[in-house]
């Protein structure tokens, strides 16, 4: 996959009522790369991520200004089809949230709502997605088991499989490993590195080592603004802005 | 000192619990012992499957409870058919669609409906619904099973709506977000994720609503006409178990077969409501297991 610009946000402002959570955010996200968003708690990382698939629409008080263009199309245009957008831009949440259904039903959920009926096709999608999420070997013998019985790390990979099953182009991940132990975390990080060949990945993380390990580009958020964006290696070794340096050296946050 | 006080409080509360259970057992015993006397005279099967209830028959009295059970079932089933879809849809609307201010207005109003005395509802049935039904279906009068069913539906609705709404809002938002983020629309999310996750809570709501309808007395006395014929349709006057007990117990001679037969009717009613409430309880237990993650 060539590295073209996939997502552009332009002068993105987002308000929760009177509170401005995002201020003039300009960011380019390239396909085939992993973009990490770092920053102290409450700086708007999740808010930004959720504005890329319009999940903030669920909150009544939210108002958005500016543009988010994905493949050149402004997703806040009236003509934008939110269902299609969310199919294209999948999301993995901080807390693994499989449905209280079987493993199979969790993965098949997305394809089903998008109109896949054929059992054979569904079987194939489920297997393919679970393989892509590196979970197949662990669950293939008992797909009808309740997803809630899986371990936390397995649940999170199941959630990733569930997203992959609708064949997204972008995968948003909001602190996907913050609730996991180091081994489960490593599995997910390996997975992210493997997936970036096929998908554009944007990941929020509190863990700077993790950002350094998995991402190509890092954006540093502070109080709803982007302070600095750059090549991950450079940003962590030679930050341009003093505030970035303070943050990555642990002087605050 | 403190431990003594705590022990006294603990004993006090356990005594309360035990008293409640003892009272329940006492009622059970009272009904059952009366029922046995009735069944000794009537015969258990003649009582349970007899098709005529005529305790004051000139030649011979008959105590078949079946028409009463049928009446109760018809009125309750009618109420269920009306109240369940309406109540569940309303709960879904409140939980998922309504804006906060709509919810703030509608919920208290619905809960107020639960506080309307049954006499008032019965009065409404007698005066308003009676004429409405008579006119719409060109009947001589509108005091029939349908009238009772509509009123009982009205009385079951608040229970169903408020408990089902609780169950729906208890579903973790993470499920909802996961579904929407996969591109599901609201309706798919409600149908495929939220309802299944809240299924046991919603079932419990329905059972509690039905339980309320089965036991209701005053309303059905006022609205269903109370004829003790074999009930054939919803447009016929019926006489439920509750109405029979309430009407006849005031006039019956003490210590007669008729007197004890009414106990036996009460026992059957007790058994039915007990089963309904028990199943509601089981559903509720299941639902707390699902939502407690
Ligand atoms: N639903 C909401 N209503 C009002 N304000 C909100 C809402 N959600 C978030 N905020 C506010 O917006 C700001 C950004 O929140 P956000 O969740 O995006 O931060 P974050 O960077 O993801 O933090 P964390 O690292 O702790 O997850 C915070 O100040 C928060 O209080
Ligand atoms: Mg966050």
A91 beta partners: A172
Residue of minimum CA distance from atom 19 in ligand 1: A42
| Cβ contact A113–B182 (<8 Å) | yes
| Cβ contact A113–B172 (<8 Å) | no
Q: Which residue of B has its CA nearest to A161?
A: B182
Cβ(A180)–Cβ(A153) below 8 Å: yes
Question: What pLDDT does residue A253 have?
Answer: 52
* Ligand 1 and A233: CB distance under 6 A: no
Contacts of A81 in chain B (CB under 8 A): none
* Token duo for residue B75: 């009125």
Q: What is the pLDDT of residues B57-74, one digit of tens each?
A: 888 889 999 999 999 999
Q: What is the CATH number of the domain that holds B218?
A: 1.10.3720.10
The residues, ordered by sequence, that sit 6+ positions from B53 with a Cβ below 8 Å of its Cβ are B62, B63, B64, B65, B66, B67, B68, B228, B239, B244
How far is it, in rounded angstroms, from Cα A207 to Cα A189? 12
How far is it, in rounded angstroms, from Cα B171 to Cα B291? 6
Residue bearing tokens 């006057």: B237
pLDDT top residue among B184 and B56: B184
* Ligand 1 and A222: CB distance under 6 A: no
Distance A78 CA to ligand 2 centre (A): 27
Residue of minimum CA distance from atom 16 in ligand 1: A44
A2 falls in which pLDDT band (50, 70, 90)?
low
* Ligand 1 and A47: CB distance under 6 A: yes
How far is it, in rounded angstroms, from Cα B276 to Cα B274? 5
How far is it, in rounded angstroms, from Cα B1 to Cα B7? 10
pLDDT top residue among B58 and B247: B247
B167 in any annotated domain? yes
B290 falls in which pLDDT band (50, 70, 90)?
low
Note down the domain range covering B140.
Answer: 67-252+270-292
How far is it, in rounded angstroms, from Cα B60 to Cα A162? 72
H or E stretch at B242: helix B241-249
* Ligand 1 and A51: CB distance under 6 A: no
The whole-number average pLDDT for the span B138-160 is 95
A37 beta partners: A204, A219
Predicted TM-score (pTM) of the model is 0.85
DSSP conformation class of B138: T
How many structural domains comprise chain B? 1
The whole-number average pLDDT for the span B9-22 is 94
Please determine, for residue A112, whether its predicted confidence score (pLDDT) is greater than 80. Answer: yes
Q: What is the pLDDT of residues A56-97, one digit of tens each?
A: 998 989 999 999 999 999 999 999 999 999 999 999 999 999
B226 falls in which pLDDT band (50, 70, 90)?
very high
The whole-number average pLDDT for the span B258-287 is 90
Distance A61 CA to ligand 2 centre (A): 18
Q: Which residue of B has its CA nearest to A115?
A: B184
B28 in any annotated domain? no
Domain residue limits, chain A? 5-97+168-248
**What's the CATH architecture for A5-97+168-248?**
3-Layer(aba) Sandwich (3.40)
Residue of minimum CA distance from atom 22 in ligand 1: A46
B288 falls in which pLDDT band (50, 70, 90)?
low
Distance A187 CA to ligand 2 centre (A): 22
């Amino acid at each position: 996959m060539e590295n073209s610009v996939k997502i552009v946000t332009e002068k993105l402002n987002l308000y929760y009522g009177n509170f401005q959570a995002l201020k003039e955010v300009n960011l380019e996200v390239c396909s085939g790369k992993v973009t990490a968003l770092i920053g102290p708690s409450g700086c708007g990382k999740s808010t930004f991520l959720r504005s890329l698939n319009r999940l903030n629409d669920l909150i009544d008080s939210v108002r958005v200004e500016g543009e988010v263009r994905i493949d050149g199309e402004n997703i806040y245009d009236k003509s934008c089809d939110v269902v299609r957008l969310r199919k294209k831009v999948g999301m993995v949440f901080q807390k693994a949230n499989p449905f209280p259904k079987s493993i199979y039903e969790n993965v098949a959920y997305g394809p089903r709502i998008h109109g896949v009926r054929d059992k054979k096709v569904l079987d194939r999608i489920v297997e393919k997605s679970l393989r892509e999420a590196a979970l197949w070997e662990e669950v293939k013998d008992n797909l009808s088991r309740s997803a809630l019985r899986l371990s936390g790390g397995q649940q999170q990979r199941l959630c990733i499989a569930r997203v992959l099953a609708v064949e997204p182009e972008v995968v948003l991940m909001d602190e996907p490993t913050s609730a996991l132990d180091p081994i489960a975390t490593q599995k997910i990080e390996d997975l992210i590195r493997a997936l970036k060949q096929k998908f554009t990945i944007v990941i929020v993380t509190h863990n700077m080592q993790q950002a350094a390990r998995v991402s190509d580009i890092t954006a540093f958020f502070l109080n709803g603004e982007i302070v600095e964006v750059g090549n991950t290696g450079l940003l962590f070794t030679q930050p341009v802005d003093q505030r970035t340096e303070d943050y990555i050296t642990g002087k605050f946050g | 000192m403190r431990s003594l006080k705590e022990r006294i409080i603990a004993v006090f509360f356990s005594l309360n619990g035990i008293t409640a259970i003892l009272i329940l057992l006492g009622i059970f015993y009272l009904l059952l012992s009366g029922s046995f006397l009735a069944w000794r005279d009537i015969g258990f099967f003649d009582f349970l499957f007899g098709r005529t209830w005529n305790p004051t028959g000139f030649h011979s009295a008959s105590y078949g409870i079946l028409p009463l059970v049928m009446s109760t079932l018809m009125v309750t089933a009618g109420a269920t058919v009306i109240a369940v879809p309406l109540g569940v849809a309303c709960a879904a609307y409140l939980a998922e669609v309504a804006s906060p201010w709509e919810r703030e207005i509608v919920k208290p109003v619905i809960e107020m409906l639960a506080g309307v005395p049954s006499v008032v509802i019965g009065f409404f049935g007698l005066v308003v619904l009676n004429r409405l039904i008579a006119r719409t279906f060109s009947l001589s009068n509108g005091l029939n099973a349908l009238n009772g069913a509509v009123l009982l539906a009205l009385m079951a609705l608040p229970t169903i709506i408020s408990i089902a709404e609780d169950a729906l809002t208890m579903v973790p938002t993470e499920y909802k977000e996961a579904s929407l983020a996969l591109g599901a629309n609201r309706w798919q999310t409600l149908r495929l994720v939220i309802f299944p996750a809240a299924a046991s809570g919603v079932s419990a709501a329905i059972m509690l609503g039905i339980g309320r309808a089965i036991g209701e007395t005053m309303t059905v006395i006022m609205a269903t006409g109370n004829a003790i014929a074999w009930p054939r349709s919803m447009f016929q006057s019926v006489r439920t178990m509750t109405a029979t007990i309430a009407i006849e117990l005031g006039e019956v001679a003490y210590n007669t077969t008729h007197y004890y037969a009414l106990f036996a009717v009460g026992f059957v009613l007790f058994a039915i409501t007990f089963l309904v409430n028990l199943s509601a309880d089981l559903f509720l237990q299941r639902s707390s297991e699902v939502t407690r993650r």
